[in-house]
Every structure is written in structure tokens, then in C-alpha cells.
Structure 1
């Protein structure tokens, strides 16, 4: 098993956002991927969707506070975008190349994950079987990201690294975790 910790950085911006910290860990055991995000700080200043009794696959989750990661196969242009809402809603998209051929990934019928929301911390954890999209012997590269929307509607973009002049989670050279 290969377990790594991470700390996300906000994209440099002139906007004022609450004092937040986004950390976590990620691991791959055979083809089981586990990722856990820890969002800490003054959560009263950001919008966090209330838990849903019936989580659904939904589009455009990135328009609100959303935990995301991008998974690519080493030496391949193909990659996937995983979106996880604190409400329990989710989606997975497949791309043939940089922002090309976006399609909903139908290999996943559900994406169960847990969310624990407290006054000063939110923990989101996902354990997903990757056998539906990659084989165990394929190396993968991951970009870990989060979109945070504050109570005034302003958005900040958090990632392991920001390689572009604008926030762009799809840039392949920002998929810096190798598992």
C-alpha cells in the first residue's frame, strides 16, 4: 500500500476568503483507492450543502463547495474527474485528453462516501474500486483539488499545485501524486 498525505493551496487571488486549511491522505491498495479530505477553519464563512437523504449523481457540483480529484493513467492522455459534494451528491467524468471528449463515466452507478461535518471541521472520505476504469498494474497520476464557495458567493480554487496562469485543475502536469 502506498499512502501519502497532502495539503492543498488556494490559487493566488485578490479575493478575501476565510482562514481555511485543507489537508488529507490518499492511498492505493491493489486497485482500491482511498482518499480523505480534512477541511478545517471557520466553516461558518463558507457554504456547505446540507446532507441529502437521497444522494444523487449530479452535474456542475463544482459551482458550490466541492471536493474533487483528477485521475490519469500514466503515459496516457485519458483521465477522469471525480466530484464529491458535502451533501452526498457525486459525479465522475471521463476525458480523452485535456478538456476533450467529456462524458459521464457510466462504469460507476454510485459513489458512496462519508461526510462528517462539525462546527470547525469537515471530513470527507471515499473508498473506491478502480477496477472499472484502470487495471491494477497501471500506474496512476492524481491531482487533488477542492472548490470552496464562501457565504458571499465568491469561489476559491484549491489544489496540490497551480501550474497555469488561471486556476485549471485539468492541467496534466498538476497530477503530481503517483500511485
Structure 2
């Protein structure tokens, strides 16, 4: 098993935002991927959707507070974008190359994950079998990201690293976790 901890950084901005910290861990055991995000800090200015009684696949989750990760096969242009809403909604998109050929990934019919919304922390955890999209012997590269929407409508972009002049989670050289 390969387990790594992470801490996300906000894309540089001139705005002043609440004190937040996004940390977690990610691991791969055979072809089982586990990722856990921990959002901590001052939540009163953050827009966090309430938990849905009927979580479902939805589009454009990144327009609100959304936990994401991007998974690519090492030495391949193809990659996937996983979107996880604190409300329980989700989606997975497949790309043929940098922002090219975006399609909903139909290999996943559901993406069950847990969300614990506490006073000073939000914990989101996903445990997923990757067999539908990659084989266990393929090395994968991952970028871990989060979009935080503030109650005033402003959005901040968080990632392990920001390699572009603008926040761009799709840049392949930001897929820096190897599992």
C-alpha cells in the first residue's frame, strides 16, 4: 500500500479570505483508491451545500464548493476528473488530453462517499475500485484539488501545486502524486 498525506494551497489572490486549511491523505492498495479530505477553519463565510437525502450524479459541481481529484495514467494523455460535493452529489469525467474530449465516465454508476460536517471541520472520504478505468499494474498520477465558494460569491481554488499563471487543475504537470 502506498499512502501519502497532503496539504492544499490556495491559488494566489489579492482578496482576503477566511482562515481555511485543507489537508488529507490518499492511498492505493492494489486497485482500491482511498482519499480523505479534511477542511478545517472558519466556515461562517463558506457556502457549503447541506447533505442531500438523494445524492446523485450532477454536472457543474465545480461551480460551488467541491472536492476534486484528477487521475491520469503515467505516460498517457488520458485522465479523469472526479467531483465530490459536500451535499453528496458527484460526477466523473474522462478526457482524451488536456481539456479535450470531455465525456461523462459511464464506468461508474455511483460514487458513494461519506461526508461528516462538524462545527469546525468537514471530512469527506471516498473509497473506490479503479478496475473499471485502469489496471492495478498501471502507475497513476493524481492532482488533488478543491473549489471553495464563499457566501459573497467569490471562489478560491486549492491544489497541491499551481503550475499556471491562472488556476488550472487540468495542467498535467500538476498531477504530482504517484501511486
Q: TM-score range with shorter-chain normalisation?
A: over 0.9
Alignment-derived partner of residue 93 in structure 1 = 93
Gaps of 5+ in 2: none
Give the C-alpha shift of residue 82 in structure 1.
0.1
Local SS of the residue matching 2:131: helix
1:143 paired with 2:147, answer no
With structure 2 as the length reference, what TM-score do the two structures score? 1.00
8 Å contact 1:44–1:119 — kept in the other structure? no
Gaps of 5+ in 1: none
**What is the RMSD of the two structures over their aligned residues, measured on CA atoms?**
0.4
Distance in 1 of aligned mates of 2:170 and 2:95: 10
Q: How many equivalent residue pairs?
A: 179
Local SS of the residue matching 1:44: coil
8 Å contact 1:72–1:142 — kept in the other structure? yes
Stretches of 4+ aligned residues off by more than 6 angstroms: none
Q: Deviations over 1:40-66 (max 9, x none)?
A: 001111000000000010000000000
Local SS of the residue matching 2:44: helix
1:25-40 matched pairs, under 5 angstroms: 25-40=25-40
1:1-179 matched pairs, under 5 angstroms: 1-179=1-179
